Structure 1
Amino acid sequence: MSSDEDEPTQPIFLEEPAPAVGDRALPTPDPENPVDRADVIGEGARSFAAWSGRLLIVVIALGVVGWGLMQLSSAIIPVLLALLVASVLYPVAAGLRRLGVPYGLGAEISLLTGIVVLGGLVSLIAPSVMAQWPTLADQTVRGIRQIQNWAAGPPLNIRDEQLNEYLQQFTSWLQGHSSDLLSFALSVGGNVGSVIVTLVLTIVIVFFMLKDGHKFVGWVRTIVGRRGGFHVTELFTRLWVTLSGYIRTQAIVSLVDAVFIGLGLWLLDVPLAFPIAIL
C-alpha cells in the first residue's frame, strides 16, 4: 500500500488554511479543545458592559456641558451673536486694514457702517408702515365685520346679544386675572431689559472681534503649546471660513428671496409689501 493510503484521512476544514479577516486569521476549530460558549458569551458581555459604561460617561458629560451652557446662556448668546455679526463685517474691516487704516479705527468704521445700514433699513420700513397703517386698520375692521356676519348666519347662527355676552365674559375674565396679567407684563419688561443688555454686549464684543480677532489664534496657540498649535490654528481657520461662507450664502439667498417675494406681494397689491420683503 502507498504511504498516502496509510495516512489517516483528515477533515476538509483542516486541509486548507483559514481565511484571513484583515490582519488576523479566523480561529481554526480544534475538536480536542472545543470552545466554551460561556467564555464567548462572557467576553461579549464584558465588551458590551465596557462600551455601555463609556457611552454612559459621554452622555453624562454632554448633559453636564449642556447644563453649564444653559446657566451661562446670558453670556454665551452675545458671543454667538457677535460671531455672526463679525463674520458679516469682517470683510469691511479687512479691506480697511489693506488700505492702511489702523485696527481700532477700522473696527469702529466697520461697526458704524453696520449700524448705519441697519438704521437705514428701519428708516425705509417705518414710513411705509405709517403710510399704509390706516388702510391696514380699515381692512382689519372690514375683516372683523365679515367674521361677525359669517357667525350670524348658518350654521353658527350667533346673534349680536350672544356676542355681547361673550365680550362681557371676556372682560370679566380680564378683571379677575388682572394681577396675573400685570405679572406677565412685568416679566415682559424684564425680558426687554435683558434684550437691550444683550444687544449692548453684542456690539462691544463685535468691536473687539474686529479689532483684535487676528490675535485670538496666536493667544490660543501659546496656551496649547507648539505640538497642538498647528491643529488649533487649522481648526479655528476652517471654522471661521465655514461660518463666513455660510453667512454670505444665506445673505445672497435672502436677497434673492426678498426681491422676488416683494415683487409678488407688490403685484398682488398686498399691504406692507415692501416692509415684508425687507424682513
Structure 2
Amino acid sequence: MDTEQYAAPPEHRTGHRTGQREPAHGRAAPDPSSVIPWGVRVGAEAAWRLVVLAAALWLLVRVVATVQLVAFAFVVALFATALLRPAVCRLERAGLHRGPGTALVIVAGFAMVTLIGWFVVWQVVANSDDVAARLQEGIHQLRSWALHSPLHVTDEQVEQAAQSLSDAVGANAAKLATTGLQGATFVAEFLTGALLTAFSTLFLVHDGPRVWRWVLGLVPAAGRPAVAAAAPHAWRTLTAYVRGTVAVAFIDGLFIGLGLYFLDVPLAVPLAALVFLCAFVPLAGAVASGALAVLVALVTCGPVTALAVLLIVLAVQQIEGHVLQPFILGRAVRVHPLAVILSVAAGGLAAGIPGAVIAVPLVAVGNTMVVQLRRAGDTAQKEIPKEQV
C-alpha cells in the first residue's frame, strides 16, 4: 500500500512537532487576551481587587466585632489623647517634665468628669419627687385633653389602653428581669471599658510618639515615608474634630439647659448633660435628645411649654449646623452630609451606638490620610523623570 497518500501535509506535521495548530490560510492564532475588549479586561482587573479588599474589610470587621469592647475603648482613648495631649505639650514647654505633666492632666480630667457625673446624679435624685408629682399631673392633663379633644376618645378607651399597658408589663415580667440582668452585665462591661480607656489614655498621652514609631515600623519600607508624612495631617484632623465636637456639644447643652431651666422644666441639668453626650452622635443624637426634652416638657409642664422647648431646640440646632460647626470645625474635618449619614448608619449597624459615635471621625481621619497619601504619590511620580534625566 502506498503510504504517502496518507501522510499529513507539511503544515500539519509542523504543528504536530511544535504542539501548536496553525489555522488555515497560514495565519497564526491570536492571543486569547487580545480578543477580549479593553473595558472588560479593566473591569475584571478591578473586580478581583475589589473582592480582595471587601474580604479584607469583612475580616477586619469580624475581628473588631469579636473584641468590640477593647476596640471601642482604644478609640475613645485616642479621642481623649487628642484632647489632652496638647495640654501636656504646653506643660512640657513651660518646663514641667512629661511624667508629672501627664499625671496632672489625667487627674484633672478625671476629677472634672467625676464632678460632672456626680452633679448630674445629684440633680436626678434631688428632683425625683418633683418629677413624679409633675408626671402624674401631666398624665392627668393628657387624659383630660384626650377626652375633650376632637379625636372623640372615650373614657372606656383610655381605661382599656391603661389596662393593656399594665397587662403587657405583667406578661413581660420575665423579660424585664432578663433586661435587669443585661443591665448588670452592661454596667460591668462599662466599668471594664472605662478602666481600659483610662489606662490606654494614660499610656498614649505619655508615650504616644514611641507608640507611633512602633506602629510605623510595621509599615513596609517603601510606603513608610508617605505614611509618616500623612500621619500628622490625620492627627491634626482628629484633634480638630474632637475639640470642635466637644465645644459644639457644650454650647448645645448649655443653651438648651438654660432654656429648660428658665421654662421651669424638671431635670434641666440631666437633660442638658444628655444633650451634650448625644451631640457626639451626628444627626441622630441631636434629634433623639431634643425629642426627649420636648417629651419631658410635654408630660410635666404641658403643651405650651413643650412648644417653647421645641422652638429652643430647633433654634440651637440651626445655629449649630450653620454657624458653630463651620466656624469651629472648619474645613479640616468637613465631611459631606451623605458621607455622614452613610457612616453613621454603617457604624450603628456594625457596632450599635459606639459604632455610630466613632464612625464620622474615622471617616474624616481616613479621608485626610487618603488625600495626603495621594498627594505624596503624585509628587513621587513627578519627581521620577527628573531623577532619570
Same fold, TM exceeding 0.5?
Answer: yes
Bigger mean CA deviation after superposition, 162-171 or 182-191: 162-171
Match of 1:158 in 2: 154
Per-residue Cα deviation, 1:152-175 (whole angstroms, up to 9, x for no partner)? 446444336x65565555444444
**Corresponding position: 1:178 with 2:179:** no
User: Aligned in 2, Cα 1:156/1:193: closer, same or farther, shift over 3 Å?
Assistant: farther
Per-residue Cα deviation, 1:87-126 (whole angstroms, up to 9, x for no partner)? 1111222122223333332222111100111123234434
Secondary structure, counterpart of 2:96 in structure 1: coil
Partner Cα distance (1:191, 1:61) in 2: 30
User: Aligned in 2, Cα 1:215/1:273: closer, same or farther, shift over 3 Å?
Assistant: same
**Corresponding position: 1:142 with 2:137:** yes
Give percent identity, aligned residues only.
26
For 1:107, the aligned partner's letter is T
Secondary structure, counterpart of 1:65 in structure 2: helix
Match of 2:251 in 1: 256
Contact 1:88–1:248 (8 Å) recurs in 2: yes
RMSD of aligned residue pairs (Cα, Å): 2.8
Match of 1:50 in 2: 45
Picking from 209, 213, 217, the partner of 1:214 is 209
Structure label with greater radius of gyration:
1
Partner Cα distance (1:133, 1:172) in 2: 26
User: Aligned in 2, Cα 1:166/1:264: closer, same or farther, shift over 3 Å?
Assistant: closer
For 2:154, the aligned partner's letter is I
Could you tell me how far 1:226 is from its partner in structure 2?
A: 6.0
Match of 1:85 in 2: 80
Could you tell me how far 1:47 is from its partner in structure 2?
A: 3.5
User: Aligned in 2, Cα 1:90/1:42: closer, same or farther, shift over 3 Å?
Assistant: closer
User: Aligned in 2, Cα 1:76/1:179: closer, same or farther, shift over 3 Å?
Assistant: same
Per-residue Cα deviation, 1:12-61 (whole angstroms, up to 9, x for no partner)? xxxxxxxxxxxxxxxxxxxxxxxxxxx76644433333332222222222
For 1:49, the aligned partner's letter is A
Partner Cα distance (2:217, 2:70) in 1: 25
For 1:115, the aligned partner's letter is F
Could you tell me how far 1:86 is from its partner in structure 2?
A: 1.3
User: Aligned in 2, Cα 1:198/1:271: closer, same or farther, shift over 3 Å?
Assistant: same
Match of 1:98 in 2: 93
**Corresponding position: 1:271 with 2:266:** yes
Could you tell me how far 1:84 is from its partner in structure 2?
A: 0.8
Secondary structure, counterpart of 2:266 in structure 1: coil
Partner Cα distance (1:243, 1:232) in 2: 16
Give TM-score scaled by structure 2 length.
Answer: 0.54
Partner Cα distance (1:157, 1:262) in 2: 35
Could you tell me how far 1:83 is from its partner in structure 2?
A: 0.6
Matches within 5 A, 1:54-69: 54-69=49-64
Per-residue Cα deviation, 1:126-182 (whole angstroms, up to 9, x for no partner)? 44444444433322111110122234446444336x655655554444444333322
User: Aligned in 2, Cα 1:115/1:63: closer, same or farther, shift over 3 Å?
Assistant: same
Matches within 5 A, 1:104-115: 104-115=99-110
User: Aligned in 2, Cα 1:222/1:47: closer, same or farther, shift over 3 Å?
Assistant: closer
Partner Cα distance (2:230, 2:59) in 1: 24
Partner Cα distance (1:170, 1:248) in 2: 45
Partner Cα distance (1:102, 1:209) in 2: 16
Match of 1:12 in 2: none
Question: How many pairs were matched up?
Answer: 240
Secondary structure, counterpart of 1:183 in structure 2: helix
Partner Cα distance (2:172, 2:100) in 1: 54
Match of 2:194 in 1: 199
For 1:125, the aligned partner's letter is V
Can you give the 5+ residue segments of structure 2 that lack an aligned partner in the other structure? Answer: 1-33, 277-389
Partner Cα distance (2:113, 2:189) in 1: 21
Contact 1:221–1:228 (8 Å) recurs in 2: no
Picking from 236, 240, 243, the partner of 2:231 is 236
User: Aligned in 2, Cα 1:48/1:179: closer, same or farther, shift over 3 Å?
Assistant: same
